[in-house]
């Protein structure tokens, strides 16, 4: 259930746009403060069944997802293509060399680490997903109008 909520929240359009500033429960605030002491520029939004904290931590832009009860569901951060495992880099070059990267992020949760990348070309867009650094699979395809 957590994986479904998190995947929907994150990958439909990669970081979705949510409502403006959100009132967050004390349990969530406490869990966040304990885990990310020293976080800067914290802003909260909410989705169906979760809160999202966007913030800067150790000079990186990060998003943390929490259940309403204060349990961390996962973390996401933007990365560079050079930060991907080598096997994923090679696969991208070989299979999608004619496209450009418009978004790339790493998602970590209790089940492991996944990567999501959005690749575009003149007439199409594809979002790929890799779970635990293994091969890419097509998450979503679309044509540009």
The whole-number pLDDT of residue 3 equals 54
Tokens 């979503």 map to which residue? 140
The per-residue pLDDT for range 23-74, each reduced to its tens digit, is: 899 999 999 999 999 999 999 999 888 999 999 999 999 999 999 999 999 9
The per-residue pLDDT for range 94-108, each reduced to its tens digit, is: 999 889 999 999 999
Predicted TM-score of the model (pTM)? 0.75
Burial 5-27 (b: 16+ CB within 10 A, else e): bbbebbbeebbeeeeeeeebeee
Range scoring the smallest mean pLDDT among 4-8, 51-55, 104-108, 139-143: 4-8
The Cα 56–Cα 54 span in angstroms is 7
**CB within 8 A of 117, min separation 6: which ones?**
81, 92, 101, 103, 104, 127, 128, 136
């Amino acid at each position: 259930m957590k994986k479904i909520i998190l995947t929907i929240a994150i990958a439909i359009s990669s970081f979705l746009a949510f409502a403006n500033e959100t009132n967050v429960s004390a349990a969530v605030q406490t869990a966040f403060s304990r885990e990310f002491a020293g976080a800067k520029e914290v802003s909260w939004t909410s989705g169906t069944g979760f809160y999202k904290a966007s913030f800067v931590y150790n000079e990186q832009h990060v998003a943390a997802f929490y259940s309403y009860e204060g349990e961390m569901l996962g973390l996401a951060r933007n990365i560079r293509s050079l930060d991907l495992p080598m096997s994923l880099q090679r696969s991208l070059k070989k299979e999608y060399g004619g496209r450009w990267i418009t978004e790339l992020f790493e998602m970590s949760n209790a089940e492991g680490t996944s990567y999501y990348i959005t690749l575009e070309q003149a007439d199409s867009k594809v979002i790929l997903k890799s779970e635990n650094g293994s091969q890419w699979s097509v998450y979503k395809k679309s044509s540009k109008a």
